[in-house]
Structure 1
């Protein structure tokens, strides 16, 4: 399948995953539980999360469209499905269930999966495209630090 069609499919899947994650959050971001959490001093304002995730999913969709047009295998589908599941699951664990320690484990696993994409599927055909994963990886390290702070100081 051509990369441009795959790009549209991955935009729908990735932003759909964000929407499902947002659904699991419910009103918790503005709710009592989250507002009373001892959050890290470097926690960005709320609008940064939306902007960051929009950029991340745009870059991830571009990367995936080229990856799947070159290497559409069961392994690639599995790794992508795992990343999508972990991304959605974090919201459910953290905001819905308030299982901040399990959410931390979840986000570390997601980071490993995205780094796996970067290291494993970055050969000569995808060498330049793998750098589209850097915003995702960097943001996940920020998210790990924020989640770790919540685990340690609440």
Structure 2
């Protein structure tokens, strides 16, 4: 018996860790790019007419920090142990991430609340497809995206309320 099997397992494990780090870096890069493209989102948010149920501005940072982590881990679970080809699932994951990235500059920098609402609705559709496809590969990956979907649904309602109150 040789040590090839343990060495191979170690290489796979290391590759899996690097993949997770890369996915986390990608998701947090999307967050950083969105933040850079918004200017001073906090001041803009505070200046808007908002529904009475709108959360305080300070809440968004911590919530998104956790959600971007779960978005990355969900993708990692699907790529790491796919049951069948995961390409389609990852294409949809990428689409929802791009729509996520687009929302902040459209809403905050451009002040296009209606277009931002369209974007977030498309994000919800892409996210629903992603969850369904992820569920075929790893149920845990799909479940990790549920809090994200709930938050984006809430954000869509908030976006709509702000759009209606500020037009």
**Structure 2: runs of 5 or more not aligned:** 1-11
| Partner residue, 2:127 | 114
* Cα shift readout 1:15-64 (whole Å, capped 9, x = no counterpart): 00000000011124214xx4332112111112210111011111111111
3-state DSSP class of the match of 1:39?
coil
| 1:145 paired to 2:145 | no
TM, length-normalised to structure 2:
0.82
Between stretches 82-91 and 72-81, larger displacement belongs to 72-81
Q: Which of 1 and 2 has higher RCO (CA within 8 Å, sep 6+)?
A: 1
TM, length-normalised to structure 1:
0.89
Query: In the TM superposition, what is the alpha-carbon distance from 1:4 to its structure 2 partner?
Result: 2.5
User: What count of residue pairs does the alignment treat as equivalent?
Assistant: 151
CA contact (8 A) 2:74 2:145 kept: yes
CA contact (8 A) 1:4 1:65 kept: no
Give the CA RMSD over aligned residues.
1.8
| Partner residue, 1:39 | 50
* Cα shift readout 1:67-91 (whole Å, capped 9, x = no counterpart): 1223465423422221221111101
| Partner residue, 1:63 | 74
**Structure 1: runs of 5 or more not aligned:** none
